[in-house]
Amino acid sequence: MKLIRTTKEQFAFSLGKREKQLLFQILQMYPLVPPSHHQLSKTGERSSHHEDQRLLEDAVAEQRRENRKQVLAMLEEPGRFRETKDDIRFSLTPAEIEWLLQVLNDVRVGGWLALGEPEELEPPEINATNAPYLLAMEAAGYFESQLLAALGHHEPTQLDES
Amino acid sequence: MAETATPVIMPEVGQEEKTGSKSGLDSAWLVVCWNDPVNLMVYVTHVFQAVFGWNRQKAEFHMKQVHNQGKSVLARTTMEKAEHYVHQLQKYTLHATMEREQ
């Protein structure tokens, strides 16, 4: 996936055909993070903590239902992904990029949680059950990086670290 | 976070409520972001910029603090604003909580 053109309102990308399959596959996994994963506080200091936590989980669940609808609408929208001889072209507005980053990171974090939260992303022993989660985590990270690069963000290189 | 980098700057924690009164200080809440090794460093930087409107330098400072120290206090503010920020950060699946200032 690469950025091919930018205007004020649109970012135009080129996708390989297999990349498109992969993107669709992981977007269909959304949402992967359970609503109870999010905690309002580590200490639960507020007297109304349990009520607040329930409200938070309701809000997260509602937001995900809306995001899920948007994901499915995007995947099915006629003309959104235009196939050419060599690749697939599609465009996103800045607001759509923000939303897609949220969706992709849910899949990435959800995959990581399903793998048992490996430290420093050391992959666990791969089997038929957890392989889709590893794929989801890695692929979501890849697409996130491409979207962030389009916005001018780049992961630090080895040179940056020295 | 998934990659490492070197911190170079030391901006202050975002402080929205500067009442100076004891009662104002007593009611302060801290918005804390905790390290999850799965989040990309550039992603965390981007989210801090998007949620708080910070420049990249300040966002990177807090991202590196999360990465190197396990957490960063992103804002000291009222309960309502802290709730708002925590919800915004969680929309991006960052591990964020609000804690009463000790």
Mean residue pLDDT across chain A: 87
Residue B68 belongs to a domain: yes
Residue B42 belongs to a domain: yes
What are the residue ranges in chain A where pLDDT is below 70? 44-49, 120-121, 155-162
Distance CA A81, CA A106 (A): 23
For the question of whether the overall pTM of this predicted structure is more than 0.90, the answer is no
Residue B96 belongs to a domain: yes
Would you say A59 and A53 are in contact if contact means Cβ atoms under 8 Å apart? no
Q: Which of B90, B101, B100 is nearest to B34 (CA)?
A: B90
Residue B46 belongs to a domain: yes
DSSP structural state of residue A41: -
The CA-based diameter of chain A, rounded to the nearest angstrom, is 61
Average the pLDDT over B76-84 and give the result: 93
Q: Which of A155, A131, A132 is nearest to A142 (CA)?
A: A155
Q: Classify residue B81 as exposed, middle or buried by CB count within 10 Å of its CB (0-12, 13-18, 19+).
A: middle
Token pair recorded at residue A70: 């948007």
Nearest residue, CB atoms, A154 vs list B42, B50, B98: B42
Q: How many domains does chain B have?
A: 1
Instruction: Give me the pLDDT at residue A39, please.
Output: 84
For A74-113, the pLDDT digits (tens) are: 989 999 999 999 999 999 999 999 999 999 999 999 999 9
Distance CA A25, CA B71 (A): 33
Question: Could you tell me the residue range of the domain that residue B94 belongs to?
Answer: 14-100
Q: Mapping DSSP to helix (H, G, I), strand (E, B) and coil, where does residue B55 land?
A: coil
Interface predicted TM-score (ipTM): 0.88
Would you say B12 and B59 are in contact if contact means Cβ atoms under 8 Å apart? no
Tokens 């490492």 correspond to: B4
- CATH number of the domain enclosing B22: 3.30.1390.10
Nearest residue, CB atoms, B86 vs list A40, A46, A98: A40
Which residues in chain A have their CB less than 8 angstroms from residue B39's CB? 105, 108-109
Residue B19 belongs to a domain: yes
Contact check, Cβ <8 Å, B3/A109: no
Residue B70 belongs to a domain: yes
Q: Mapping DSSP to helix (H, G, I), strand (E, B) and coil, where does residue B77 land?
A: strand
